[in-house]
Structure 1
């Protein structure tokens, strides 16, 4: 993502809080073998037969303890959304396909606002209660460990974006005069659908979006068939088949001019701009295609089915790397920012962090990608960019903030971006270009669509280079002072 502050230094802002293979739970598990009564054919048991235990109200991220939820992993979301811009009313039905990771008597979903009218679990009515942004669901029958189950939530109301007092700004589902600007990093998905809102629970998505005729609905992945119009409304079907963190989900709505085609390498390319920015449409399309194809030679094959970008007439002051649909809020992006957001398709979108403290694995890599793009185009080399940043005096704030542990109260500090990028250049200096660029491709290939940690990156760097690198990474990522040797 990119904030107005970070645009000046060609970085990207926003991102903290989402979840698929990591679940926290509370209490002691009761093994299925201890249950005397056999389960019915649908795999559930009545609460009287077995109480189970409640899923945790957080996924286990120590820096953001109430984000996400424990006790289950989501595999797929089916989101049916009807939105009316004049009244700002959203009606939704969220279908969630998940698998329990413990015996579940109840579980939580993240949802901010809205009136919830009905919830079913495996087709049977469930009871529920609200406590701020926690929606606690108690199914009619407990769900045994490792059991697939389906949830359907019907809800309606006026979406309210998150208005953060720190450097996060306004995010989530943001109503606009002609639709909505939807940028959810870090935990804004809950402002428009119920789910497990933390990066550690990735899932695939289907979107069925109904809007007034003449309004375009843009979502992640690919448009399925032609939009259907009737009764003054149009319905768009989009499908993102690859795993995606909740903060990357979007249904940006409004009046848009489109250009569609393929990159030179054959990847689908869609650029969309609000009419106010029609002059940037061709450049957005062309640069997105060129950069995607180039990153495919540096980072490995493009991980998704399409590329491109969206410029909306909302002065967000930032950009966000929504999966397959990077979003630029109220400005014409230059090549450096496009390069940053598209690098995130590998670093952050395909390879996803389990804990927000490791945000440098997203933002440091995307910032370094800007330097590589400049180097590729005959501008400043990555080494020149490194030396420019390294010239900051020893008492500069960047050296006091170790990039390897992003702080929950200052998640998008410039150190996470710039010092994170400098870490990669310091590594390149140490191990040389052949090993460094082999490392990048191996990293993205080994963890495609999965999760990554700093420890895993260090281990791979040492394996490929054959060098001991603890001192380098400790100096650049974890020491609150300016590195002098590494």
Structure 2
């Protein structure tokens, strides 16, 4: 049997009661607000540690310096954010690099590192709804990260400098942030490099000065941007600035080794933008263009916002694809990486439409050829449905691109051209500078034609396993 506890003295009981009452009164006075840590990761279906909970970033101010000879990057990142809960701590994504100091609201904050998580503990809890600034001083050799599919991203050293590419999580290799596509923000980026090198980023060039053998340039991106399409290209580039006939600025930066091979295709940027505006609606950003590095600088092209990156001179199909992403992917950004087909299916279908409008195969002919013998070019074409990639290693595989485009063609067949081309314009207009997921899109399509049965499209083409039955006439 347990031994009985001795009786508590009356005086001690009274004192304890008074302390408890005082604590309750204090809690009542301050509203009972006690922050909790924000989540370390947003539980994305394929990258669960990407992004962080408890806050929303509205602006990034990055002040960087890079020396290609030593491959050392130093930076100060200031994030303006809004707390979406009462916060006692929050995480930033940062892979590698050494952190020297962290402040919140100008006051020194405690912090610690665990893997890609930089956990920040502000001096005082942050109330829900509060706008705050966190500043991180950091430096080191930024890492080249390897994706689950084996491709490389993050910070990629090149022959004359480096290029930063972020899809899906590589941006955490060069600046701390909330690195998930669902959290978009505006950017100011200042970069200092050795004199003689160019540094090109997203948005508009707002300042440039050279002093003491160093050149500092500042780029401003006013429209919201997901961090995975933020870029920084440092190296020996020929930079040209022109405008389209409608006055849209066109900024191109081309490695001299690729200048001749790129000249004709880059000259078609104004024509591609005009064609895309006819099909997809007004261009969503303040400038366009391209960055062309050398072959081997990266293993893929990427739709970096305002000016896509190409490793070597692109062909016209690739240029159309990456510029179409400015509407589908950059302006309308996926809520999770499961929604990747909304990026790649639309951009691939844009290539089909370009061919259809410029003397090539019709979209129906392209669809039929894919259905009949697409496995010859895309061995994995029917290996999984575009709406549900089998794993993180496969979100950029051909079913997401080619079958994603086939889903759109099936929608076109049911809606008819008038309603379908209205959808191509209205969808990116409705979600301009926002995010959307697959459910948002399927509901949007169904609302356009409430009497049409889209069940077979979703069940067989978007989510169905294996090769669907041949569609009827």
Please give the TM-score of this superposition, normalised by the length of structure 1: 0.88
Between Structure 1 and Structure 2, whose CA radius of gyration is higher? Answer: 2
State the Cα deviation string for residues 22-47 of structure 1 (Å, max 9, x = none). Answer: xxxxxxxxxxx9954549xxxxxxxx
Question: Partner residue of 1:224?
Answer: 206
Question: Partner residue of 2:164?
Answer: 182
Q: Where do residues 196-345 of structure 1 align in structure 2 (5 Å cutoff)?
A: 196-225=178-207, 227-313=208-294, 315=296, 316-329=298-311, 331-345=312-326
Aligned equivalent of 1:133, options 109, 116, 136? 116
Count of aligned residue pairs for this structure pair: 442
Question: Partner residue of 1:405?
Answer: 388
Distance 1:278 1:63, change over 3 A: closer
For residues 370 and 159 of structure 1, what CA distance do their matches in structure 2 show? Answer: 35
Q: How many angstroms does 1:284 deviate by? A: 3.9
Aligned equivalent of 1:56, options 1, 24, 39? 39
Q: How many angstroms does 1:264 deviate by? A: 2.3
Decide whether the 8 Å contact of 1:271 with 1:284 is kept in 2. Answer: no
Question: Partner residue of 2:11?
Answer: none
Aligned equivalent of 2:462, options 477, 480, 486? 477
For residues 176 and 28 of structure 2, what CA distance do their matches in structure 1 show? Answer: 35
Helix, strand or coil at the partner of 1:294: helix
Between 98-107 and 461-470, report the one with greater CA deviation: 461-470
State the Cα deviation string for residues 63-89 of structure 1 (Å, max 9, x = none). Answer: 321111000000000000000110111
State the Cα deviation string for residues 336-366 of structure 1 (Å, max 9, x = none). Answer: 0000000000000000111111110000111
Q: How many angstroms does 1:159 deviate by? A: 0.7
Cα-Cα RMSD: 1.9
Q: Where do residues 112-191 of structure 1 align in structure 2 (5 Å cutoff)?
A: 112-164=95-147, 166-191=148-173
State the Cα deviation string for residues 145-181 of structure 1 (Å, max 9, x = none). Answer: 11110000000001111023x4341111112232111
Decide whether the 8 Å contact of 1:176 with 1:314 is kept in 2. Answer: no
Pair 1:95-2:78 in alignment: yes
Question: Partner residue of 1:4?
Answer: none
Decide whether the 8 Å contact of 1:394 with 1:482 is kept in 2. Answer: no
For residues 248 and 83 of structure 2, what CA distance do their matches in structure 1 show? Answer: 36
For residues 229 and 381 of structure 1, what CA distance do their matches in structure 2 show? Answer: 52
- Greater length-normalized contact order (CA 8 Å, ≥ 6 residues apart): 1
Please give the TM-score of this superposition, normalised by the length of structure 2: 0.90
Distance 1:241 1:427, change over 3 A: same
Pair 1:456-2:440 in alignment: yes
Decide whether the 8 Å contact of 2:262 with 2:313 is kept in 1. Answer: no
State the Cα deviation string for residues 80-112 of structure 1 (Å, max 9, x = none). Answer: 000011011111000000000111000000001
Identify unmatched segments of 5+ residues in structure 1: 1-32, 40-48
